[in-house]
Each structure stands twice: as C-alpha cells, then as structure tokens.
C-alpha cells in the first residue's frame, strides 16, 4: 500500500480535488455512455467517491474534518446540478422528475466518507499544541 501524501499545501487541496472531480466526470461519462443513455445515476457516484478518496488521501491534516466539509460541499453541488432530474426518454416514466441520481450520488459520497472515516488511520500528534 502506498504511503499517503502529506506534503501537499492545504491551499492547493481545493484545486486538486476539483481537478479530480473533472477528470472522474469525463472518464466515468465516457465509460457509462457505452452502456446506457441515463448517465446521471452512474457518473455522480463515481465523482463523489473519487472526491472523498482524494480528499482523504491528499489532505495534510484534519482528514476527517476536510472529508466532512468536502462531503457537505459536494452534496450541495449535487443538489444544484442534479435536482430536478428526469427519467430518460426510453424509460416508462420518461420526462418525469426523479431524485434517484441525487440520492445515489449523496449516498455513495456518504458511504465512502464513513468507510474512510472508519478505516483511515488516525495519526496522533506527539506535539503539545
């Protein structure tokens, strides 16, 4: 297993996380477009998991706090981008509103945060702050 990076400045973290969001969006949308026309319920969770993992892996300190902030900001962004969503035209409920993409995206982000929260090692500082 690779050692987590801790030399990334905290000010660079939002740019790296946003870059990972953009890359994961394009990669997931290309892959999902080969299988289905309704990409929102599949691309959103891929982006959510990627952003949470990158935040936990690259944040220099306060991984759990920064992960929670990322989860909350990502949930708000998902609400802005995915609400309202509509069923695709080939679905029996075509053009009706649905919350499935939003719920799946936020749920996968929350699940990945909880898994990282439980599994990621909590390093104790030996400094007297």
CB-based contact 79:102 (threshold 8 Å): yes
Provide the pairing of β-strand 97-98 with 85-86. antiparallel
pTM of the entire predicted model: 0.83
User: Which among 81, 82, 87, 58 is positioned nearest to 70, based on CA atoms?
Assistant: 58
Crossing angle of helices 100-119 and 40-58, in 10° steps, is: 20
Q: Return per-residue pLDDT of the chain as tens, 129 residues.
A: 555 555 678 888 899 999 999 999 999 999 998 998 888 899 999 999 999 999 999 988 888 999 999 999 999 999 999 888 888 888 888 888 899 999 999 999 999 999 998 887 766 544 443
| Cα gap 81→97, rounded to integer Å | 14
Q: Where are the domains of the chain?
A: 10-119
CB-based contact 85:40 (threshold 8 Å): yes
pLDDT of amino acid 60 = 82
| Cα gap 108→121, rounded to integer Å | 21
């Amino acid at each position: 297993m690779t050692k987590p990076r801790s030399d990334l400045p905290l000010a660079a973290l939002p740019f790296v996380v946003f870059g990972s969001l953009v890359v994961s969006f394009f990669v997931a949308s290309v892959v999902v477009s080969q299988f289905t026309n309704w990409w929102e319920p599949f691309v959103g969770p891929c982006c959510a998991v990627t952003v949470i993992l990158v935040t936990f892996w690259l944040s220099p300190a306060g991984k759990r706090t920064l992960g929670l902030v990322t989860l909350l900001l990502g949930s708000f962004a998902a609400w802005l981008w995915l609400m309202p969503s509509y069923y695709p035209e080939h679905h029996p409920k075509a053009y009706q509103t649905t919350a499935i993409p939003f719920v799946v995206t936020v749920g996968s982000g929350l699940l990945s945060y909880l898994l990282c929260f439980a599994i990621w090692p909590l390093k104790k500082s030996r400094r007297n702050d």
